[in-house]
Structure 1
Amino acid sequence: MASQFETEIYEQPDVLSKFLDHRIGDVRTIATFLRKYDPKFVLIAARGTSDNAAIYAKYLFSAFLRVPVGLAIPSLYTLYNQPPQLHQGLVVGISQSGESPDVLAVMEEAKRQQAPTLAIVNQIDSPLVRYADMILPLDCGQEKAVAASKTHTAQLLSIASLVAMWLNDDRLIRDLSPIPEYVAQVLQVHERVREIASQIKCQDRLLIVGRGFTHCTTHEIALKIKELAYISADPYSAADFKHGPIALVEKGFPLVAVAPAGKTFEVMKAIIQEVQQLGADTILITNQFDLAADPSRILPIPTELPEWVSPIVAVVPGQLLALCLTIARGNDPDKPRSLKKVTRTI
């Protein structure tokens, strides 16, 4: 019998299709307001998996909208009582549950300072909605597994949709439509992931490396492997990786490289070749299939996948890897130790 986590991983194509079918009108309305408002900066409040979606938003808003983006420091609002000035900014809260007190505190302060607020949230009856001028529901249905999957990819899709509509760019808007089908294709790699997991299940540490838009993907895959398989998985940008962590790599050391085609590919290719020479057991999430000495170590993503939306698809093999490692190590993916579905931190 499939775990709840696995079931929800496989629900993602339908969840993403539903979002595109039913929420694009909401996205367009929000984008129209934001285009007119023209914020001078964006501040994003999030925790956990949602914080990894916030990293994606930081990249997209900065790259496409040319707007400075920062991730909120909740302790300034909850412990130090020294929040920054938010005048002329947009404050975004990203949350599955909409209940985390620290995210709520950032949004509440934004409302106090009369800065426009946007909630990207799955639970539309949550406290977060009370502090939101604009609401973008994810419509994922209840996510029962402690480890998030479908809410994460829905968050990423909502962010990509908002950017495409904000710019009113037909090419970017067209890039959104195939995403549910791309995710469905990637799920077919499950058996290969299971084989890889059985071979590396005794490892207590691994690295995940990416660059650019997929920086959020490295963080999300690492989080899933840590919280479910109890393996110390560390995410790095390819640039930061060269500034020290590469010293960890030796023969047999497992390393996951997220390397879609695009502007960061040549950098990733050089890193992959270097760690392969060092003897790393390199697992590749890529659509460039000549990179691996061992083709069984490639977890393919669609060749036509645009780089800017690649995190929505490339994270799925990472979710499957976390699932398979967890089961291979004898753990229950639906009962991670010391964790609850809703984490309330200040």
Structure 2
Amino acid sequence: MSIRHVQETRMFAEAAEAPAVVARQFLENGDLVRSLGERLRAEPPRGVITYARGSSDHAATFAKYVVETRAGVLTTSAAPSVSSVYGDTLDVRDMLALAISQSGRSPDILAALDRAKAGHAFTVAMVNAEGSPLSEQCDLTIPLRAGVEESVAATKSYIASLAAILHLVAAWNGDQDLLGALNGAPTLLEEAWSSDWEPLVECLAHADGLYVIGRGPGLGVAQEAALKLKETCRVHAEAFSAAEVRHGPMALVGRDFPVLVLRQPDETGELVDRLVRDMVGHGAPVFVAGGAVAGAHSLPVPTSHELIAPLLQIQAFYRAANALSLRRGLDPDQPMHLKKVTETL
């Protein structure tokens, strides 16, 4: 079955809404994010600490690279269990504590943010469920505005998280180029949704495992793609930075081990191309989104601003993942052993 004519699952329908979600979010959050950006410039945090789980934590990986490269502020991911299980309190004074969540109800994130607020951090939530406990707990909430998301596999809310991160950082450092790119992102997301990644679907129809490779801002979307392959397609996918895969994992790369590479149009591009050439040389079927390397399969994705590229790649991927799940006889809306809200303690 062609990827262009797959059955419309909830996952498919919700992912297709991402362009409208990003457009709505950019418009409706304008004043709020502009004000927050002014505050961060006037009172620069000594660091940013992110709190998230699952897909939201992959968005936090994206946030690390965007904040550090564009705002120049050290950003780290908190281990929520330090607060929720071990009961310890970190020194977070004068830091920006950024929580990212679809539901805003996970007990460990709530416990960690409670400790952060008690420790005099400035707490900000990027959350889809407005009025959730997390939204009420934080000093300020940036609504993701993705609307109801019923499929267990988060799609539009993940892309909304990436867009909200870009909006915040662009407002923080006054990046007019990035703000303009965000304004044009919905149109490019529409184009990305039409991208045909059927060769990847064909290759993975009977695969047992693969690597998903990213670097820089692309690492977070590589992590997200690997998660979706596991939960919706029951494929053992592992995400690696292109800088790390040579440290041992390269031993598995070969004729029967596919690789999906999410190449970024930035300073990492040539380094990633070298890795792709090596993997092709090992006989592996390699699929590259965002580039063309001899011997590798090139997956189409619209040309864009370097920080918009990850959003477009994951949007095109979601359509392919939905098609692959159906091709493997699965229901992407009902992954085994999973439910929509995971309440980690």
Q: Equivalences for 1:267-346 in 2 at 5 Å? A: 267-286=271-290, 288=291, 290-293=292-295, 297-303=297-303, 305-346=304-345
2:32 alignment counterpart: 26
Q: In 2, are the aligned partners of 1:285 and 1:317 still within 8 Å (CA)?
A: no
In structure 1, runs of 5+ residues without a counterpart are: none
Task: Summarize deviations over 1:264-317 as a string: whole Å, max 9, x none.
Answer: 10011001111111111111111x3x32436xx3222222x1212321111112
Q: Does 1:205 align with 2:209?
A: yes
Show the 5 A alignment for 1:131-210: 131-189=137-195, 192-210=196-214
3-state SS of the aligned residue for 1:212? coil
Contact 1:299 1:317 in 2 (8 A): no
* Conserved? CA contact 1:193–1:324, under 8 Å: no
Q: Following the alignment from structure 2 to structure 1, what is the Cα–Cα distance between the partners of residues 104 and 136? A: 10
What is the alpha-carbon distance in structure 1 between the residues aligned to residue 188 and residue 54 of structure 2?
Answer: 25
In structure 2, the partner of 1:232 is 236
1:60 maps to a residue whose letter is: V
Q: 1:8 to 1:263 in 2, by over 3 A?
A: same
Cα distance in 2, alignment partners of residues 292 and 226 from structure 1: 29
Do 2:194 and 2:316's aligned partners in 1 also have CA atoms closer than 8 Å?
A: no
Matches within 5 A, 1:64-79: 64-79=70-85
After superposition, the CA RMSD in angstroms is 1.3
Write the letter of the residue equivalent to 2:29: R
Structure 1 runs of 4+ aligned residues shifted over 4 Å read: none
Instruction: Give deviations 1:225-282, integer Å, cap 9, x for gaps.
Output: 0111111100000110011111101113210011132211001100111111111111
Q: Kindly indicate whether residue 122 of structure 2 is the aligned counterpart of residue 116 of structure 1.
A: yes
**Counterpart Cα distance in 1 of 2:248 and 2:169:** 34
CA shift for structure 1 position 321: 2.6
Output the CA distance in 2 between the equivalents of 1:145 and 1:5: 5
Deviates more, 1:118-127 or 1:247-256: 247-256
Offset of residue 61 of structure 1: 0.9
3-state SS of paired residue (2:194): helix
Q: Which amino acid aligns with 1:163?
A: V
Equivalent in the alignment of 2:3: none
CA distance in 1, matches of 2:158, 2:330: 22
User: Are the equivalent residues in 2 in contact too, given 1:107–1:117 (CA < 8 A)?
Assistant: yes
Structure 2 gap segments, 5+ residues each: 1-6
Report if aligned partners of 1:255, 1:280 keep a CA contact under 8 Å in 2. Answer: yes
Q: Per-residue CA shift, 1:173-195, capped at 9, x if unaligned? A: 21211111111111112xx3245
| Larger helix proportion of the pair | 1
- Secondary structure of 1:239 counterpart: coil
Structure 2: how far apart are the matches of 1:155 and 1:28?
Answer: 17
TM-score by length of 2: 0.95
* Count, aligned residues: 339
SS at match of 2:337: coil
